[in-house]
Amino acid sequence: MPQNLTIRTAALPLAPTGTLVIYADEGQPPQGAGGQAWTATGLDFAEIAAAAGFKGKPGQVLDIAAPSGIAAKRLLVLGAGRQDPQKPASGSAWADRGGSLAAKLMASGTEAAAVILDGHEVMPAGVAQLAAGVKLRQYRFDKYKARKADEAQSDLAVTLYVADPSATDAAIAGRMAVAEGAIVARDLINEPPNVLGTEEFAERAAALAGLGLTIEILDEPALRALGMTSMLSVSQGSIRPPRMVVMRWASGGNEAPVAFLGKGVVFDSGGISIKPAANMEDMKGDMGGAAAVVGLMHALASRKARVNAIGIIGLVENMPSGTAMRPGDIVRAASGTTIEIVNTDAEGRLVLADLLWYVQEKLKPAAIIDLATLTGAIGVALGNDHAGLFSNNDDLAMKLAAAGLATGEKLWRMPMGAAYDKLIESRFADIKNSGGRLAGSITAAQFLARFVGNVPWAHLDIAGVALNSPPTETNAGWASGFGVALLERFVADNYEAK
């Protein structure tokens, strides 16, 4: 299994390589430089394609060992699908193509590969997405697995032959920053909960100072001084202390910042309202929102985005103990709102309530987007293909949805309204923290909306897509890093100085 990945660009002519990769459009033989490479083998493409049932559809491959006429030990012809000049492939399609390429290279044990893209009229942005897809698919989280004595520790070097290497290198650098941000998020989510507690998570986030971010970590006394009792109520049953991390990237002049908030429950047992034992191990990933925010800030700083952005994560552990919050408790949030606790497993919204107050009160953002693995109900509604989008602002919602379509991290807007708000009214306090089983993801969003003023706000419920989601072309693991590419594109399209 390759341990290290190197991607570089070059211009033709080809240098000798272990594996040569060319593409064939659906119903067409290889064209351009790829066609020339095939012709050099002296093989009849139509005859071989017919015998192998190769039509050039996405995912199809012709694998030819020891081809004559070219300086390569293996020739792979990959199906590129049907090309429509009026509708070029999207960025996510190019990323999927890169993921598929990586899977085939790793499966064949390739250590060095040359990929001919010159001649396909591929723009640098498309090549960059392909390169990012290779990196994302090559990712593995296996640091805790023992290595077998005979297991290969090979590297993978990929050379992309393109028409304009200089422009392509610049595009790849930007996309790789985003891919690396997604990998940062994946690593955080994949870590076991005995290794990554609240303090350790905060230290990982603080390491972003090396990229130029300003980092502030607030401990329990500081949080208590701010009156953030809602967030503190979640952590009071655990020996792990709460932390709030504020990450600032200021490269956008005097513009008001755009703020990203992340739920960071490093392990969620459910507290006194304890979860069923089956699959509780997955709750190490209940900090997927915080992981995405850290990954996003990593991406923005790595590519020196011209924007003012703030990332805030609330880190707690929800455990049952003699000091844990109880159903029936009433706590006062930093905003002054009183909350009746009716279910201690509805804890993420208690963290976000205080984060929402803090960012509005202290930092005056132009817009707020929060991310949270908030409810199982969103998975029931949308499965693993879309995250739930809730917002108080149509323009913000449309911009986020557009970024989701562009990156393949898709969002579906869910309803909000007064009828749902009534479900979280409390007999004893201003609000209760759960509206019950019906419309669970919506009532959770209604709860959060109580802590939002007039600022444009969106809530992304990513419980169905951040972890334990089905494998894709760019992710063969358990954690997806969902949200990093989506929000980086959202920033680039709408808030970054041009």
Query: Which residue segments constitute the domains of the chain, with CATH numbers given?
Result: 5-165 (3.40.220.10), 178-494 (3.40.630.10)
Q: Mean pLDDT throughout 203-219? A: 98
Burial of 351-364, coded b for 16+ CB within 10 Å and e otherwise, reads bbbbbbbbbbeeee
Q: Mean pLDDT throughout 74-95? A: 83
- 397 to 19, 152, 338: CA distances (angstroms): 45, 47, 29
* CA gap 208, 122 in Å, rounded: 34
pLDDT interval class at 1 (50, 70, 90)? very low
* CA gap 284, 391 in Å, rounded: 27
Q: What is the pLDDT of residue 469?
A: 81
Q: Is the pLDDT of residue 444 over 70?
A: yes
Q: What is the pLDDT of residue 86?
A: 67
Classify the C-alpha dihedral 434-439-440-443 as positive or negative.
Answer: negative
Q: Is the pLDDT of residue 253 over 70?
A: yes
CA atoms within 13 A on the CB side of 247: 32
pLDDT interval class at 152 (50, 70, 90)? low
Q: Where are the alpha helices (DSSP H) in 113-216?
A: 124-138, 165-190, 198-206
* CA gap 487, 493 in Å, rounded: 10
Tell the residue number behind the tokens 């230290």, with chain if given: 203
> Is 260 in a helix, a strand, or coil?
strand
Check 55, 204, 275, 450 and give the catalytic one: 275
> Is 295 in a helix, a strand, or coil?
helix
User: Which of 162-166, 188-192, 333-337 is predicted least confidently?
Assistant: 162-166
DSSP 196: S
Q: What is the pLDDT of residues 456-484, one digit of tens each?
A: 999 999 999 999 888 899 999 999 999 99
Q: Is the pLDDT of residue 153 over 70?
A: no
pLDDT interval class at 155 (50, 70, 90)? confident
pLDDT interval class at 87 (50, 70, 90)? confident
Q: Mean pLDDT throughout 241-269? A: 96
Q: Is the pLDDT of residue 2 over 60?
A: no
Check 74, 186, 243, 349 and give the catalytic one: 349
**Does the active-site annotation cover 186?**
no
Q: Which residues lie below 8 Å from residue 262, measured CB to CB, with a gap of 6+?
A: 287, 289, 290, 291, 292, 293, 294, 311, 312, 313, 314, 370, 371, 372
**Does the active-site annotation cover 57?**
no
